[in-house]
Every structure is written in C-alpha cells, then in structure tokens.
C-alpha cells in the first residue's frame, strides 16, 4: 500500500500511482527527465539532420536488392504501426507486414489492417498462435497477481517478427514504437518483455499445460538473432515529427481507417487489462503515461489531458468484461477473487534479472544491435584497407 502523500508532476500527469516515481525540487518527475533524454538521443539527431534517415533508408534498400522484401513490419491495426506502413511505402521500402493473431483482435483492427495493406500493396503474413496454450498462459498471468498481463503478447510478437525475419533472410524489423507517444512507461506497471524465464516461470507455477509450442525466444535465441543474424529493430517514427492526431486524420482520409479509442486498444484484451484490471486491482491507469507523452511532445495541453482522465467509461466496458471472462472460461466469482488478491510484481518470480550473469547478457543483447553494427562496419573497413594495401 502506497502511504506517500499524494503528489502529481507539475509538467505531466504522472503521480504516485507509480511507486518508483520521484520529483525534483521544482516538482518535475523523473519520467519527464527520462522523456527529455530519450527525445534528445533518439529523435532530435534525425530531426536536425535529414541525411541520417536518407542514409538508413538507402541501406535498407541496398541490402534488400534481389529479395522479395527489404524489411519486416509488425502491424496491429493501431495508429502507430498503420501510419508506419503508409510511411514505409512513401519512403520506397518493400516491407512484409506481419501480424500476430492471439485470438483477441477486434473486428475494427482486422478491418484497418486489411484495407490499409490492400491499398498500399503490402503483403501480409499472419501468425495464428495456439489459442488453448495462449489462454492457459494468460490465465497463469492473471493468477500471478502481477500487472504484467500483456507481457506474453509482447514477447510473442517480438518472437514472431524475429522468426519471420530469419525465414525471409531480412535483417531489419520496423517497429511503430516512438518517443512522441510511448517514452514514458513505469517499470512496475509492465516489466519482463524479453524475459522468457519469467514468463515460463509464472506459467509453471500456476499450470501444467505446455506453452513451448508458442513462439518465444530464450537468451540463446536472442543472441543468435541479434549477434549472429544481425537483426536490427528500427523505430523510424522517431526520425520524423510524428503527430498522432495528424496521423489519424491522414489514415481516415486516405484509407478509411477507423479509430478504436485508447492507446493499443485495438486489442480487446488490452482494453480489458488497461481500463478494468489495472485501475481496480493495481490502482493505476496506463493512459496517465500515454497522455503524459502527448503533453511532453506538445500534442495536447496538460489541461486537455486532465479533462480526459476524468472521463469514466465503466458502464460501456461491462460488455467487454463479460466477453473476456467468457472467452477465458472464468466465472464472475473467480474473477472477483483474482481482483481481490494482494498485488505482486515481477520481482516475486524467477527471471533472468534475478541472475547476475543472465541479466548482464540480457542487458547487452537489448543494447547490442548498434554495437554489432559498429563491429561489422569496422571489420568491413579493415578488410577493404587490407585488400587495397595488397593490390595497390
């Protein structure tokens, strides 16, 4: 239970519902400082130097010569990935769109994907995963009492993208992630995306059903993808002045794209988790972080964001809650018991992070793509210099 006196950041909407938040002497929270750092390192260099993006796009096209595709693009039907699909074609790229169907797609998301890709002439590969195994995994996470309920989906999406990249012999994976709308994400609200030991450990605690048939990656597999196969995930929306409202208007006008509501709510399960379970069981709302990003990127005012936080839609959500419980084979009584159980966190379960060597390797691999690129660039230059010295 959080016993701190209530405090909210004077710049964004982040407050003490993040137990790890802290404020400087001016009342500005650590998330605002993290946002500024992320913007200045990930976005500003490209915005100030347009040639950076051009060089990167040329590299994708050059490496993609004589191949059906030059990159892999994950699509969900949401704003970010859909706009990125449009932008990729504007840049002259030839992506293969990849969608992971975990059984929770809204009809609106499916319609958005189909209309967009058909008009953009982008091929689509859909991976439909084993529903029974995935449902068992979701139930295990619900029983774990952690807020990390979307971690299985996020992990599987990443695994599917890497598997497809390897099958297609393509190095580059395009991600719709961007600092403008996603740079604020409290660790205790969602953690362990790359941690198969954590995912598998929770499931082993609460179920005897096998989940090994689900797409996933261990530390060894992640090493192969990133170091040996040299896969690199590119967040190209960070290279342009991405504005969510303008992106929505363009998609609606050009592609008859339809808005689905909140951030990532193209998934029925995401809406169920973010707008029902998180507030009722854990006492936080993820849209507080989403709106804070829009404030910091000057896409909404703080007053507009505060007004949106006041909007309550529990009655409208009740049908979706009933649908989710039926799909998960949970009774209302069982679900109520899950909501009443004391919250836990990532740190209550085994994980790579609980082992120093495994955690160090995981941290290296997450940061490795740029280091690997530097290594191969230096190696290539050294070989060229050696070749020239021998034959000059």
Confirm whether 161 is domain-assigned.
Answer: yes
Confirm whether 3 is domain-assigned.
Answer: no
**For residue 373, what pLDDT band results from cuts at 50, 70 and 90?**
low
> For residue 364, is pLDDT > 90?
no
Quick one: pLDDT at residue 386?
A: 55
Confirm whether 391 is domain-assigned.
Answer: yes
343 or 105, higher pLDDT: 343
- The domain that holds 71 is classified in CATH as 3.40.50.620
Confirm whether 36 is domain-assigned.
Answer: no
Could you report the per-residue pLDDT of 191-245, keeping only the tens digit for each? Answer: 999 999 999 999 999 999 999 999 999 999 999 999 999 999 999 999 999 999 9
Quick one: pLDDT at residue 369?
A: 66
Do 378 and 313 belong together in one domain?
A: no
Do 123 and 270 belong together in one domain?
A: yes
86 or 265, higher pLDDT: 86
Interval 51-71 mean pLDDT: 95
Interval 358-383 mean pLDDT: 68
The domain containing residue 53 runs over which residues? 45-352
Do 335 and 370 belong together in one domain?
A: no
Could you report the per-residue pLDDT of 32-45, keeping only the tens digit for each? Answer: 999 999 999 999 99
Do 307 and 213 belong together in one domain?
A: yes
Do 370 and 250 belong together in one domain?
A: no
Structure tokens at 129: 């995963």
**For residue 260, what pLDDT band results from cuts at 50, 70 and 90?**
low
Do 258 and 144 belong together in one domain?
A: yes
Do 112 and 167 belong together in one domain?
A: yes
Do 129 and 82 belong together in one domain?
A: yes
Could you report the per-residue pLDDT of 157-190, keeping only the tens digit for each? Answer: 999 999 999 999 999 999 999 999 999 999 999 9
Quick one: pLDDT at residue 389?
A: 54
Confirm whether 2 is domain-assigned.
Answer: no
Do 200 and 314 belong together in one domain?
A: yes
**For residue 264, what pLDDT band results from cuts at 50, 70 and 90?**
very low
> For residue 391, is pLDDT > 60?
no
Q: What is the mean pLDDT of the chain?
A: 91
Quick one: pLDDT at residue 267?
A: 79
Do 243 and 284 belong together in one domain?
A: yes
Confirm whether 241 is domain-assigned.
Answer: yes
**For residue 1, what pLDDT band results from cuts at 50, 70 and 90?**
low
> For residue 374, is pLDDT > 80?
no
Could you report the per-residue pLDDT of 109-121, keeping only the tens digit for each? Answer: 888 899 999 999 9
> For residue 388, is pLDDT > 60?
no
- In the chain, the number of structural domains is 2
Do 170 and 304 belong together in one domain?
A: yes
341 or 316, higher pLDDT: 341
């Amino acid at each position: 239970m959080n016993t701190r006196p209530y405090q909210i950041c004077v710049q964004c909407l982040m407050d003490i519902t993040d137990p790890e938040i802290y404020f400087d002497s001016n009342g500005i929270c650590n998330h605002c400082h993290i946002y500024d750092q992320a913007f200045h390192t990930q976005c500003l260099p490209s915005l100030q130097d347009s040639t950076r993006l051009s060089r990167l796009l040329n590299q994708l096209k050059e490496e993609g010569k004589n191949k059906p595709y030059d990159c892999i693009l994950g699509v969900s039907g949401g704003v970010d990935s859909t706009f990125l699909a449009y932008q990729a074609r504007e840049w002259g790229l030839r992506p293969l769109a990849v969608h992971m169907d975990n059984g929770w797609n809204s009809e609106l998301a499916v319609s958005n994907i189909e209309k967009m890709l058909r008009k953009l002439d982008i091929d689509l590969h859909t991976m439909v995963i084993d529903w029974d195994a995935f449902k068992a995994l979701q139930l295990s996470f619900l029983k774990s009492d952690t807020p990390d309920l979307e971690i299985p989906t996020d992990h599987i999406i990443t695994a599917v993208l890497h598997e497809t990249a390897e099958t297609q012999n393509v190095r580059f994976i395009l991600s719709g992630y961007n600092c403008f709308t996603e740079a604020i994400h409290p660790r205790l609200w969602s953690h362990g995306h790359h941690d198969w030991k954590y995912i598998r450990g929770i499931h082993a605690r609460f179920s005897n059903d096998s989940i090994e048939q689900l797409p996933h990656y261990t530390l060894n597999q992640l090493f192969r993808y990133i170091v040996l196969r040299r896969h690199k995930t590119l967040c190209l929306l960070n290279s342009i002045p991405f504005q969510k409202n303008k992106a929505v208007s363009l998609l609606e006008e050009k592609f008859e794209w339809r808005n689905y509501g909140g951030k990532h709510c193209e998934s029925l399960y995401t809406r169920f988790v973010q707008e029902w379970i998180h507030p009722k069981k854990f006492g936080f709302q993820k849209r507080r972080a989403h709106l804070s990003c829009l404030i910091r990127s000057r896409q909404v005012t703080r007053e507009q964001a505060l007004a949106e936080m006041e909007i309550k839609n529990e009655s409208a959500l009740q049908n979706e809650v009933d649908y989710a419980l039926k799909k998960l084979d949970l009774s209302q009584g069982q679900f109520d018991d899950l909501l009443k159980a004391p919250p836990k966190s990532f740190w209550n379960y085994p994980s790579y992070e609980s082992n120093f060597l495994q955690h160090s390797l995981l941290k290296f691999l997450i940061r490795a793509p740029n280091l690997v690129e530097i290594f191969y660039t230096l190696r290539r230059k050294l070989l060229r210099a050696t070749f020239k010295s021998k034959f000059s």
